[in-house]
Structure 1
Amino acid sequence: MTPQEILDILEKEFPDADSELYFEDNFQLLIAVTLSAQATDVAVNKVTPALFKAYPDAFSMAKASVKDIESYIRTLGLYRNKARFLLETSQMLVSDYDGIVPDTYTDLIRLPGVGRKTANVVLAVGFKKPAIAVDTHVDRVAKRLGFANENDSVLEVEKKLMHIFEAKDWAKAHYLLLLFGRYHSTARNQSDAYVLLEALKEKHQL
């Protein structure tokens, strides 16, 4: 089964593959992805409506206090650190980028709490630039499919996926592999990933 065949199967299973986070602009996307570290999208989506109503942009959030932000995200893991990151990120966006989320990897990772995965999600989803983000689901699936070795780092997995898939498919591959890992090849489901894919292939009569 080729990498392209895998994407074709997963596209049938997830025809609307996209971020499951709620956001209306790149600032909200950046904040939501930052909050999603060690938290489910469902949990993040429960807190962001009120958070974004109170602080719809970098300028308003930059004026908040850490305690103010904490009160909106208290149900999330690591909420104290995340509140500090959100405040410091908003302040840097205002001071260095006129309140606008930058569109380069180098600038994005300057922001407090923004790592490689978050930067790549913002680039791919927010700016439609070729980027492939590796989270726990993508990392697990890539290794189960033999795209990467079991002891590869996140960066090594990312580089191998970028080599396997065409640049135009990087963002799509991220979400398809992520959803496959979230709903089929889960951490608890030790079934062979290719057996799971064959079942989906049969399901969709491919």
Structure 2
Amino acid sequence: MTRAQARAFITHLAEANPDARSELTYTDPYTLLVAVVLSAQATDASVNKATVGLFRDAPDPAAMVALGVDGVARHIRTIGLWRAKAANVVALSAQLLVRHDGRVPDTREALEALPGVGRKTANVVLNVAFDQSTMAVDTHIFRIGNRTGLAPGSTTRQVEDGLVRRIPADMLRPAHHWLILHGRYVCKARSPECWRCAGREECRFPDKRASPA
């Protein structure tokens, strides 16, 4: 896509879903950070079910450390990689207390230094909690970047950099939500519902699906 086509594509997604936002349940930057860490290789819905009890018992870093790895694990056994995630959640909570006075930092470097926090998680937290213009590339956004021609790339970083270059600066921060929800519910991996795509005209996908009979 050209930059003009990219703006039109994102504009159409925005018009189709003007109130797009994270589907994770959280109350502050800390609970958002924990929820995003838990969401790796898990659905937002499954994470939200697990965090109801977890955040009731441990709504802040000190309480999470007190709960301990076994206590966290009891709440999150229903989601993937729960053992490693329980350890990371407790470890990052301890590090927040020691290095950041219990607060979630608002820089990429500090976030990525936390256990279990990679570039994608940092981008989500910076975008959602701190209103920074970052682009977190998950499997849905990676697929859209390549399928539509919006930002082709063989790695998530290539797609991220392409999106940052291609999407107008004034649309970049909310574009994360428009793209991820579009990929989750319309531009699906196996059966894209192209007939419902608001950006169909700009999309470069050669095998656009017609409406089912």
TM-score by length of 1: 0.90
In 1, Cα distance between equivalents of 2:106 and 2:195: 35
Q: Is the 8 A contact 1:141 1:193 kept in 2?
A: no
Give the corresponding residue for 1:134: 137
Task: Count the aligned residue pairs.
Answer: 198
In 2, Cα distance between equivalents of 1:143 and 1:64: 42
Q: Is the 8 A contact 2:25 2:35 kept in 1?
A: yes
Q: Give the alignment of 1:1-206 within 5 angstroms.
A: 2-149=5-152, 152-190=154-192, 197-198=199-200
* Structure 2: gaps of 5 or more residues: 202-213
Describe the SS at the equivalent of 2:73.
helix
In 1, Cα distance between equivalents of 2:193 and 2:25: 31
In 1, Cα distance between equivalents of 2:158 and 2:177: 18
Give the letter aligned to residue 124 of structure 2: V
In 2, Cα distance between equivalents of 1:193 and 1:159: 29
Quote the offset at 1:148 in angstroms. Answer: 3.1
Q: Is the 8 A contact 2:62 2:102 kept in 1?
A: yes
TM-score by length of 2: 0.88
Quote the offset at 1:195 in angstroms. Answer: 6.6
Question: Which is further off, 153-162 or 183-192?
Answer: 183-192
Give the corresponding residue for 1:203: none
In 2, Cα distance between equivalents of 1:195 and 1:17: 15
Quote the offset at 1:61 in angstroms. Answer: 0.6
Q: Is the 8 A contact 2:92 2:115 kept in 1?
A: yes
In 2, Cα distance between equivalents of 1:160 and 1:103: 23
Give the letter aligned to residue 92 of structure 1: Q
Question: Which is further off, 123-132 or 164-173?
Answer: 164-173
The Cα offsets for residues 62-99 of structure 1, whole Å up to 9 and x where unpaired, read as: 22221110000000000001000100000000011000
* Structure 1: gaps of 5 or more residues: 200-206
**Change in CA separation of 1:195 and 1:27 when aligned onto 2, cut-off 3 Å:** closer
Describe the SS at the equivalent of 2:102.
coil
Quote the offset at 1:193 in angstroms. Answer: 9.1
Identical pairs, percent: 42
**Change in CA separation of 1:169 and 1:193 when aligned onto 2, cut-off 3 Å:** farther
**Change in CA separation of 1:195 and 1:76 when aligned onto 2, cut-off 3 Å:** closer
Quote the offset at 1:184 in angstroms. Answer: 0.7
